[in-house]
A and B are shown apart, each in its own frame.
Chain A
Amino acid sequence: MFLQTKGLTKQFGGLVAVNKVDFTVEKGKINAIIGPNGAGKTTFFNLISGFHPPSAGQVIFKGRDITHLPPDQIARLGIARTFQTTHLFEQSTVLDNVIVGHRLRTSSTLWDAIFRTARHQREEKQCRDKALDVLDFVGLTDAADRLVAGLTQEAKKRAAFALALATDPEVVFLDEPAAGVNPDETDGLAELIRKMVERGVTVCLIEHKMQMIMNLADKIMVLNFGEKIAEGTPHEIMNNEDVIRAYLGGNAIA
């Protein structure tokens, strides 16, 4: 089992945002979570990445219970994520934004910073090389020295991917990677997500663009009102009556 949730539940007061969700992320695959707005998809991500403590249930990563670890320690274990809005620093260059992504794999302290020790020099170069490497991977080498503010939405998404990849993750959770991006560029991002999996990074994503998901995902889970209503291959999901009802409302015609 790579990454698994068991009965994961989150309550905000009386509202059950995520209700007893059992889910497995399969290693080396593209896993997707879909569902109508407010279905609890992002909350589900927040539970896995440690931003919210779950009300009940467990998150298990490679046999280890990570349910109550803080987000930074979860990141160190090799679980990266992106946000719906990229959260990049607009007034800084792409490279400067991405360099800090590899910081968690370094151990330089304040002492190293002030006295410019050999370790600091080495680790600074390591972070820079890593940043250039991931920028090359996402196809942003030419934009490395440009300010993030001057990038297209699609390039910002790529930069956010690069930042997540700079942490040397085993699995990346992408929260709506193609939101606000035009159809042509969406194909480019889908291509990049496939490339990430080829590189050995497992992907789990939330997306609203159905066509993209159906072409891309190996496995899909559907959430509705915080509950898992279906799980399976794209083909199974497309023909699942519960899913059709959740999306179209009322009775299934298909």
Chain B
Amino acid sequence: MSVLLNRRTVVTGLILFAVLFPFVTRNDYVIHIMTLSFIWMIGVYGLNLLAGYTGYLSLAHAGFFAVGAYSLGLLTVEAGVNFWLALILACLFTGILGFLIGMIALRTREHFFAIYTLCVGYIIYLVIYKWDGLTGGVRGLIGIPAPSNIGPISFTSSISQYFLVLFFLLLTIFFIYRIVHSLTGRTFMAIRNSEDLALTLGISTMKNKLVSFVLSTIFAGLAGALYAGFVRFIGPDIGYITITFDLLIYLLIGGIGTMSGPIVGTLLIVWLSQYLQFLQDYRMLVFGPLLAFLIIFYPWGIVGIFQQWKQKRQARKARSIHQEENRKDEVELDAGVSADQEQVREG
């Protein structure tokens, strides 16, 4: 059991599964849904870095997602820029916008920050919706090219798109993992825990929050740009508040502030809503109570439940080892105990 739960084994197994997945299903629709959920995951990881690890719940992330998507769309369609260059520029532009907004937004805290960013997200949506001349308004943007070839590799088939997105997802997870497990990550978590305490520890909270915010928006922008290249059509709806709440639901159900929460939550909800499609909008009657239940009883989501269970198991093991040692001490003290009695105890 402990070998199976070893982190390295789990990670290798998951990557292997993700790589083999399209060859196993061979179903274009399933691959399409999976690719989309990978794109969402990148956005959720970005949100997790900020909301989960730094303690600032941003509700503007659909806006940044849309900024990434529209930047890529406009650069490729209107300006004729190469897809890859456009992808980099889209992330960069989202990051710069994130920096400017973060400078102001991060002066607020807690629910004020959430409300402020909610407004920012909605304003981004309105700008995209109303700025007909640039974004095409309600008609959206069509004819976004697929990622251009890299040497002999083309990205026209659904499988190749799947692997492209998987690559960026793994890159995102790698980055986030390294950040979280570093002094920078510890700094973010110190801010989440108590901003006042962090300040007295000599941490420049504004600088660190801004770094976290900008990174978070860049991941949202990357997800948006990949979405634009994958779906090839974007409308203002992708910047709407509901997308923010989708990302947030994935994060909360999977486990906010956990490394694997975004994967678990996104996969679960995306596939659950596929199976519940016959219910149409009544699906929310399933998700709503599920979310409420988790937040009340397991604020760290499904991954949190698993971690709690593991902690309890470890504590129990530590206790039983402790008891075993005590028993052995007693045995050593008691000179009269015969060898086979001892065997019985150990058995």
Contacts and interface: CB of A to CB of B under 8 A. Distances in A.
B309 to A, nearest CB: 15
A40 interface: no
Interface centre among B175, B198, B201, B211 (most CB of A within 10 A): B201
Interface centre among B189, B200, B211 (most CB of A within 10 A): B200
A113 B185 contact: yes
Contact of B196 (A51, A76, A80, A167): A51
Interface stretch (A95-103, A178-186, A194-202, A212-220): A95-103
Nearest to A166: B201
Contacts of B203: 72, 100, 103-104
Contact of B202 (A83, A104, A110): A104
Contact of A114 (B175, B190, B202, B204): B175
A106 B202 CA distance: 11
Given A87-B193, A103-B183, A75 B199 contact: yes
A189 to B, nearest CB: 19
B196 A120 contact: no
Interface in A62-91: 70-73, 75-76, 80-81, 83, 87-89
Interface residues of B, number: 25
Given A87-B194, A113-B179, A127-B183, A104 B201 contact: yes
B110 to A, nearest CB: 15
A22 interface: no
Interface string B172-201: 000100110011111101100110111111
B205 interface: yes
A124 interface: yes
Contact of B184 (A81, A99, A109): A109
Contacts of A70: 199, 204
Nearest to B183: A108
Contact of B182 (A101, A104, A108, A163): A108
Contact of A113 (B184, B194, B205): B184
Interface in A102-123: 103-104, 106, 108-110, 112-114, 116, 120, 123
Contacts of A124: 182-183
Interface of B, helix, strand, loop or mixed by DSSP: helix
A72 B190 contact: no
B201 A103 contact: yes
A49 interface: yes
Interface residues of A, number: 38
A113 B183 contact: yes
A110 B205 contact: no
Nearest to B184: A113
A75 B184 CA distance: 18
Contacts of A72: 199, 201-205
A166 B197 CA distance: 13
A51 B211 CA distance: 23
A150 to B, nearest CB: 10
A106 B184 CA distance: 11
B196 A110 contact: no
A87 B183 CA distance: 19
Q: Which 7 A-B pairs have the closest CB atoms?
A: A104-B202, A113-B182, A75-B202, A89-B193, A71-B199, A87-B197, A87-B194
Interface of A: 49-51, 70-73, 75-76, 80-81, 83, 87-89, 92, 96, 99-101, 103-104, 106, 108-110, 112-114, 116, 120, 123-124, 127, 163-164, 166-167
Interface of B: 175, 178-179, 182-187, 189-190, 193-194, 196-205, 211, 215
9 contacts: A72-B201, A75-B202, A87-B193, A87-B194, A88-B193, A89-B189, A100-B203, A114-B182, A127-B183
